[in-house]
Chains A and B, each alone.
Chain A
């Protein structure tokens, strides 16, 4: 009897705290969504909290009507796809070679890869390197340098080592399959969930990456969406903002900023259900050290 009451109280407290935590994590989204759908006047007079006031799609039509914004989004999609394909190619090659037993020099290669996880040249040497490689202000500067992720490689290598049965490999060898044949016929088909997870890791990482574009790209037509959004929000000179965002010296009004943030967030929200599912399994695999 007593414990039952205590249990009830305990439940109430737990649900209360969790509901609070959930509200805290979604209210910022609701607020900015409400602002993006409200009139500028309603926002400026502090009327907009969680629901749109004077509902209007004007801010969105201005964001989508802006050619540079849409171009930037398409460019980012293109970059993300290219980056993910390249990243997966490099990761598969490296993880497979480093997971084969008895490969001479394997430890050295592995160490070379792992070391880069803990030590790197830092911002300036990387910048100079991009300059020397003539990648500065090209789209390649945000595709090539980060394409090989040691972290993802380790996850895939662990997966190859632990999840592909040796017997399958042996029988393929007897059938006269070489290393690459075994990779294509056995390892890749068996690793599809892991490959999907890692592709998402790469794609989301690239979609959200910002600083490399900030460092390496000054050409406006090459801005990926995050950089575009950053300049828009911070309105570093009117030329960086939307063509239609207002007079030259004016900051983009909060409704336009809100709509732009939503514009860049919506693609992530659309793929979010898949993201969540695969990321959680991926992070759990990654936590198991190889």
Chain B
């Protein structure tokens, strides 16, 4: 009896918005709402309040005037941005550096994971994994410090080798085009090992009977990789590819900033470093905010689109 009554009440509550029910549920779960208060304050103060600050892209904001007091100027700043060569340069650099990362950095962990999976000697596999993951745990400041030492034309290991072999020292990080190559390779160095984890997990999920059947059919190891392993991790590859495509506009700040230097600015200046310089060093708040807003909005739209395609490809979206 009691049960049926209770379920009837539940059904009633689901039928429409019931103030009494809401109040009683708030009363029941009061302690849960209490738990939400502090995190929500943090979320509001440090995530949503800055989003309100985005409106200074449309205002003539000059401190000490507050954001609310500043006069509106419409799209003036955006007109200025879209007419400036500087903007197109940093946009181009962002797309080129991210595009190169996608082309070379994306396949690297897949290849590495497949190779690791072929290793039967356990200690060798474990040790290589441990050593390959290591670079991922270092900050970009440290990595830049290490790489400037490694690639230095005067004292670096690579150039010692090159000059000992009779070549001339290569300015890996101070010549514009070389810098782009170095930036790309350093990125692979940092993340390829770590990137194998997700593929190795996907490979473990492949049904081992498939391999056994292939052996019976006389397939060699290359054939097994090509016909079983690769198709087995295809969904993971596609999902990650789509997610990465969605991030092509995004730019991390630390990597280009720490690896960049005055000599390679033409190729190293990306949206994030440009925003930092214009905003915090030249104090052009509204211009820098507008460029950042442009990047955020385009980036967000790209993520939505890629998420849509990821779902359509049957790989499940991120939302």
Contacts and interface: CB of A to CB of B under 8 A. Distances in A.
Interface of A: 3, 6-7, 10-11, 14-15, 17-19, 21-22, 24-29, 31-32, 35, 43-44, 46, 48-50, 89-91, 93-94, 96-98, 100, 102-104, 109, 112-114, 116, 118-129, 131, 133, 144-148, 178-180, 183, 204, 207-211, 215, 226-227, 229-230, 233, 254, 257-258, 260-261, 264-265, 268, 272-273, 275-276, 279-280, 283-284, 287, 289
Contact of B50 (A93, A98, A129, A275): A129
Interface in B94-121: 112, 115-116, 118-119
A142 to B, nearest CB: 12
Main secondary structure, interface of B, reads helix
B152 A254 contact: yes
A32 B193 contact: no
A264 B142 contact: yes
Of the candidates B47, B51, B138, the one having the most CB atoms from chain A within 10 angstroms of its own CB is B47
A128 B67 CA distance: 9
Interface in B120-149: 124, 127-128, 130-135, 137-142, 144-149
Interface residues of B, number: 92
A46 B142 contact: no
10 contacts: A32-B149, A46-B155, A91-B39, A121-B51, A126-B46, A126-B53, A148-B39, A229-B145, A254-B152, A275-B137
B197 A125 contact: no
Interface in B39-66: 39-40, 42-43, 45-54, 56, 63
Contact of B141 (A98, A109, A145, A233): A233
Contacts of A97: 32-33, 35-36
A25 B197 contact: no
A124 B147 contact: no
B258 A230 contact: yes
B292 A129 contact: no
Contacts of A90: 38-39, 42
A58 to B, nearest CB: 17
Contact of A124 (B29, B42, B53, B319): B53
